[in-house]
Amino acid sequence: MLGDTSFGANSAQAPAQPKASTAPKTGASAKPKTAAASPYDRALLRPALLKDKAPETYQVKFSTTRGDFTLTVTRAWAPIGADRFYNLVKHHFYDNATVFRVVPNFVAQFGLSAYPPVSAAWKNANLTDDPVTQSNKKGYITFATAGPNTRTTQVFINLVDNVRLDKMGFAPFGQVTEGMNAVDLFYDQYGDASGPDQDQIEKQGKPYLDKGWPKLDVIQSATVVGEPAAPAAKKAPAAKAAPAPKNP
């Protein structure tokens, strides 16, 4: 970590492949094994395909161990970031993720997946930077970076007005519009110096955090809500009434 203005993830290797299980014995007693359901949306393993354009405004409801809060995203503020966030939330990337870095009077940061294969898939899915059009005020959400054009999945919510971040290229794309009190309550007593290592979060996932930092808060779910309604079907034009017959 390069101080309290560095928001990038350390390098991490892809997780080791699991060892092959012993093949079941043949015979009448052998039963076919049912494949376990994936704990995450497998579309997240292919970031290049998740390119949907976000609505001009949309809301995301977060349910956390400190309560619920809602973000309102305005695409015009930072279109590239807003689109990435929309696709991540739509495919439940942030579900079960830990708020792993909370610095009092600064930021609450999250966005490393609970699942190592997902983290590995997104590690180098970098975005080009958006121009900074909004200030990093309290409650505004912004992508973390490790330098120019390195945004991937990590975001932070400003816990105070952090205007100094504006000149550093951090471009807010939305703001907390309900439940900021829940964000303010995120556990912040571990500190940067004794907090978790981002490289190990990527490699080991949530078990690493649960073991070493059990008091950290968790995002139970993040869901897009209030999307624009589908346009109503166009009605067929009404038939014109035939002119009344004239009297002879």
**Averaged pLDDT for residues 3-23:** 36
In this structure, is residue 232 part of a structural domain? no
Does residue 9 sit within a domain? Answer: no
Q: Give 80-101 pLDDT, tens digit per residue.
A: 999 999 999 999 999 999 999 9
The C-alpha torsion from 224 through 80 and 39 to 65, rounded to 10°, is -60
pLDDT of residue 199: 97
Given a cut of 70, whether residue 5 has pLDDT beyond it is no
Is 164 inside any structural domain?
yes
In this structure, what token pair is assigned to residue 120?
A: 């590995």
| CATH number (domain holding residue 110) | 2.40.100.10
In a domain, 55, yes or no: no
Read off φ and ψ for residue 46, nearest 5 degrees.
-130, 75
Q: Is residue 33 part of a domain?
A: no
Handedness of CA 192, 111, 178, 4 (dihedral sign): positive
pLDDT given for residue 245 in this prediction: 44
Tell me, yes or no, whether 154 lies in a domain: yes
Number of domains within the chain: 1
Q: Is residue 114 part of a domain?
A: yes
Looking at the domain assignment, is residue 208 inside a domain? Answer: yes
Least confident among 127-131, 179-183, 205-209, 231-235: 231-235
Task: Please calculate the CA angle 31-34-40 and round it to the nearest 5 degrees.
Answer: 165
Task: Give me 41's structure tokens.
Answer: 């949306």
Q: pLDDT digit string (tens) for 22-45? A: 333 444 444 555 556 889 999 999
Whether the pTM exceeds 0.95: the reply is no
Range(s) of the domain holding residue 145: 61-225
